[in-house]
Amino acid sequence: MIAVIQRVTSSSVRIDGDIKGETGLGVVVLLGIEGTDNEEDITWLSRKIVNLRIFNDEQGVMNKSLLDEGGDILLISQFTLHASTKKGNRPSYINAARPEVAIPLYEKFIQQLETDLGKEIQTGEFGADMKVSLVNDGPVTIIMDTKNKK
């Protein structure tokens, strides 16, 4: 799994013009799922995200987590994170998981984030044409890959 985590002051996702999810202070997580990803990846990545100390403390040092701040999560599935651009100009998405594999993992990831965060998260819709808006705070953007756990 690859996740792009962006610290935000607000975010939203629209599908067909309607707001599907929106947040205040928190993070937007763009999630790419590979066919080899599993529940161990879900557990590891979820815990890393909710405990990631990327929010400022009273001294202005990034020392607080989503849990500390009571922040929100907007999760967006994004298979294009697994684009291969080695050959030619058209990206290949061969490493991205097929929907029959990715959808159950995406749904388990939602459940794990909600468990670890202790509240409901906001999401887009798997496979939909989504319009994501956010106010990146900082900007702070972190990229995590479960293939690089160690």
Render 43-59 in DSSP notation, one character per residue.
Answer: HHHHHHHHH---EE-TT
The structural domain count of the chain equals 1
What is the CATH number for 79? 3.50.80.10
Active site residue 141: no
Say which of 9, 80, 111, 115 is annotated catalytic: 80
Cα-trace Rg, the chain: 15
Helices (H), 16-83: 39-51, 66-69
Say which of 55, 79, 123, 146 is annotated catalytic: 79
Which stretches of the chain score pLDDT less than 50? none
The reported pLDDT for the residue numbered 150 is 74
Active site residue 111: no
The reported pLDDT for the residue numbered 149 is 82
Q: Quick one: which H or E segment has residue 100? A: helix 99-117
**Model pTM score:** 0.95
Active site residue 36: no
Please say whether the beta carbons of 97 and 37 come within 8 A.
yes
Please say whether the beta carbons of 109 and 75 come within 8 A.
yes
Range of the domain at 28: 2-148
Q: Please report, for residues 51, 55, 66, 138, 149, the alpha-carbon distance to residue 62 in angstroms, rounded to integers and kept in the order given.
A: 12, 5, 11, 11, 22
List phi, psi (to 5°) of 40.
Answer: -60, -40
Q: Residue 7: exposed, middle, or buried by beta-carbon count in 10 A (0-12, 13-18, 19+)?
A: buried
The reported pLDDT for the residue numbered 84 is 87
